[in-house]
Chains A and B, each alone.
Chain A
Amino acid sequence: MSDKAALEKLEKLGKSMVAQVEKEKSPTFETPLRSRGNIDFDESYGFLRLGAKKEERTFLNVSQARTFMQTVAVANKTKKFLQEGLHTSIRGLFYQLKFSLGEDLDEDLFSEQSESNALIEDLEVSLGIKREDLHLTTDRKGVVAGNMVVTDSFGGEETKINCAKQGRSGWMVPSDVDNGMDFVDVNAKYVLVVEKDALWQRLNEDQFWKKDNCILITPKGQASRGCRRLIRKLADKGLPVYVFTDCDAWGWYIYWTIKTGSMNLAYLGRDFSIPEAKFIGVTMGDIDEYDFLKKLTIKAKDIDVKRAQEMMEYPWISRHKEWVKELKKVLKSKKKIEQDALQGQKLTFVGEYIREKIGGEKWLP
Chain B
Amino acid sequence: MSDAFSKFKEYSVAEFFTKNRQMLGFSGKVRSLTTIVHEYITNSLDACEEAGIMPEIEVWVENAPEEKVRVKVRDNGPGIPKSHIGRALGVMLAGSKFNRYMQQRGQQGIGATGCTMFSLITTGQHVKVVSDYGGKRVKADIGIDFKSNKAVLTEVVEGDSPEGGRGLYVDALFGDVKYEKSSKGVHEYLRRTALANPHATIIFNDPEGARFEFPRSVEQLPPRPFEVKPHPLGLGAHDLLEMSKRAGGYSRLSAFMQNELARVSLNKVKELQELVPDVDLGMKPDRLNWEQAERIVRAFQKVKWIAPATNSVIPIGKGQVEKSLNNILGPEFVYVTERPPKIYRGGIPFTVEVGIAYGGQKPSPGGELMRFANRAPLLFDAGGCAITATVKNIDWKRYNIRNFDDEPLTLFINFSSVHVPYTSAGKQSISDEEEVVDEIRNAVQESLRNVGRHLSGKRREKEKGQKRKVIMRYVGQLSSDLADLADEGEKEGKLKETLTSIIERRFE
Contacts and interface: CB of A to CB of B under 8 A. Distances in A.
Nearest to B471: A65
Interface in A289-323: none
B498 A11 contact: no
A14 B498 contact: no
What band does the interface of chain B fall in when counting residues whose beta carbon is under 8 Å from A?
20 to 34
Contacts of B478: 27, 59, 68-69, 72-73
Contacts, number: 86
A18 B486 CA distance: 7
Interface string A62-81: 10011011001101100100
A62 B471 contact: yes
Nearest to A60: B506
Contacts of B481: 69, 72-73, 75-76
B502 A65 contact: no
A101 interface: yes
A348 interface: no
Contacts of B503: 60
A21 B471 contact: no
Contacts of A13: 485
A18 B502 contact: no
Contact of B498 (A24, A73, A109): A24
Interface in B477-496: 477-478, 481-488, 491, 495
A25 interface: yes
What band does the interface of chain A fall in when counting residues whose beta carbon is under 8 Å from B?
20 to 34
Interface in B130-176: none
A17 B501 CA distance: 16
Given A59-B478, A62-B470, A72 B485 contact: yes
Given A18-B483, A105-B473, A62 B491 contact: no
Contact of A11 (B470, B485, B506): B485
Contact of B467 (A27, A62, A109): A62
Contacts of A10: 485
Nearest to B470: A62
A14 B480 CA distance: 11
A79 B474 contact: no
B499 interface: yes
Contact of B502 (A60, A73, A102): A60
Contacts of A65: 470-471, 474
Contacts of B470: 62, 65-66
Contacts of A109: 477
Interface string B459-471: 0000000010011
A25 B486 CA distance: 17
A119 to B, nearest CB: 13
A69 B478 CA distance: 5
B495 A76 contact: no
A69 B485 contact: no
Contacts of A112: none
A49 B211 CA distance: 81
A17 B485 CA distance: 10
Interface of A: 10-11, 13-15, 17-18, 21-22, 24-27, 59-60, 62, 65-66, 68-69, 72-73, 75-76, 79, 101-102, 105, 107, 109
